């Protein structure tokens, strides 16, 4: 059944891919954006999408001006990679979505799908703020004010993703035959998942929402398999046939570094989801796309 979705973060990488998939599935999309947001990720979807500028039009209007909203999908985030202060990260990842969920509750929206991270909450300001908002979501769900489905994302990757991300940095450095790629020892294990499989999880949860019991539910979104950072880098290096020198151990581990992050996908699989790409298959698609 076609739904009208209010989507945040549509101008970002994950949000733009999700917007395209929602539109292709027959849903309509109202995308929240800021005046300064670049629309380059949304170019192919622009003729079919409704844009709502949160700086020029009241947030509440997004729920009233375009017909009844069936669900909110919240993808907007600040990773803190551009030198943002803790308060700026909290504004983006905690204060803004709190205003959003307040408006959604006031408009009696039945469902809020939230994008969370699998990272330990005390690793950095980004992960702390994301966890704190998810806890607010649980609070509202327990009060039976809105159904809140929390997606804890592992390390997703795809063509056109943000160059500041580790995965993109490694792939592009290898493709460009950078003289040297400085890394940690790379013993920490991570769960890497191709972007199409992440998007498929959102669409499935939207479709199967009635099959999910309770007001609050949480799902890990990853491949379900973890490899070491070293294995990931060496696989990229091998597929690209790169001449870049891999300098493992050039950097120390971050304070509080998590040594294992791996999704438990059993709950998603029970709903009918499966990871459609191995790490090698996903990487080959990305590398071919960049070429």
Counting residues of the chain whose pLDDT is more than 70, the rounded percentage is 100
Q: Render the chain in DSSP notation, one character per residue.
A: ---EEEEESTTSHHHHHHHHHHHHTT-EEEEEE-TT---GGGTTTGGG-EEEETTTS-GGGGGTSSS---EEEE-----STT---HHHHHIIIIIHHHHHHHHHHHTT--EEEEEEE-S-TTSSHHHHHHHHHHHHHHHHHHTTSSEEEEEEE-EEE-TT--TTSHHHHHHHHHHTT-SEEEE-----EE-EEEHHHHHHHHHHHHHTGGGS-SSEEEEEES-S--EEHHHHHHHHHHHTT---EEEETSSPPPTT--SB-----HHHHHTT------HHHHHHHHHHHH-
pLDDT per position as a tens digit, 182-235: 999 999 999 999 999 999 999 999 999 999 999 999 999 999 999 999 999 999
Rounded mean pLDDT, 60-82: 95
Superfamily (CATH H level) for 4-153 = NAD(P)-binding Rossmann-like Domain (3.40.50.720)
Q: What is the pLDDT of residue 227?
A: 98
Q: Specify the range with the lowest mean pLDDT, choosing from 52-61, 64-73, 239-248, 279-288.
A: 52-61
Instruction: Give the start-to-end residue ranges of the domains of the chain.
Output: 4-153
């Amino acid at each position: 059944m076609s739904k009208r979705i209010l989507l945040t973060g549509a101008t970002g990488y994950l949000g733009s891919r999700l917007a395209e998939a929602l539109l292709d599935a027959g849903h309509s999309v109202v995308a929240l954006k800021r005046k300064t947001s670049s629309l380059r990720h949304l170019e192919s979807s622009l003729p079919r999408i409704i844009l709502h500028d949160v700086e020029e039009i009241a947030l509440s209007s997004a729920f009233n001006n375009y017909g009844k909203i069936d669900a909110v999908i919240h993808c907007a985030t600040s990773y803190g990679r551009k030198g943002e202060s803790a308060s700026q990260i909290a504004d983006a990842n905690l204060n803004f979505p709190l205003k959003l969920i307040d408006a959604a509750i006031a408009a009696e929206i039945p469902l809020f799908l939230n994008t969370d991270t699998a990272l330990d909450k005390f690793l950095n300001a980004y992960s702390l703020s994301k966890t704190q908002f998810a806890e607010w979501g649980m609070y509202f769900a327990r009060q039976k004010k809105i159904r809140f489905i929390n997606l804890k994302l592992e390390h997703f990757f795809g063509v056109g993703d943000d160059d500041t991300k580790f995965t993109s940095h490694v792939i592009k450095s290898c493709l460009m035959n950078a003289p040297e790629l400085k890394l940690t020892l790379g013993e920490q294990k991570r769960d890497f998942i191709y972007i199409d499989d992440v998007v498929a999880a959102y669409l499935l949860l939207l479709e199967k929402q009635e099959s999910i019991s309770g007001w609050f539910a949480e799902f890990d979104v990853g491949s379900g398999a973890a490899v070491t950072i070293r294995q990931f880098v060496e696989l990229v290096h091998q597929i690209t046939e790169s001449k870049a020198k891999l300098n493992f151990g050039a950097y120390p581990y971050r304070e509080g570094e998590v040594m294992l992050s791996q999704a438990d996908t059993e709950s998603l699989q029970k709903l009918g989801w499966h990871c459609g790409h191995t790490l090698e298959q996903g990487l080959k698609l990305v590398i071919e796309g960049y070429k």
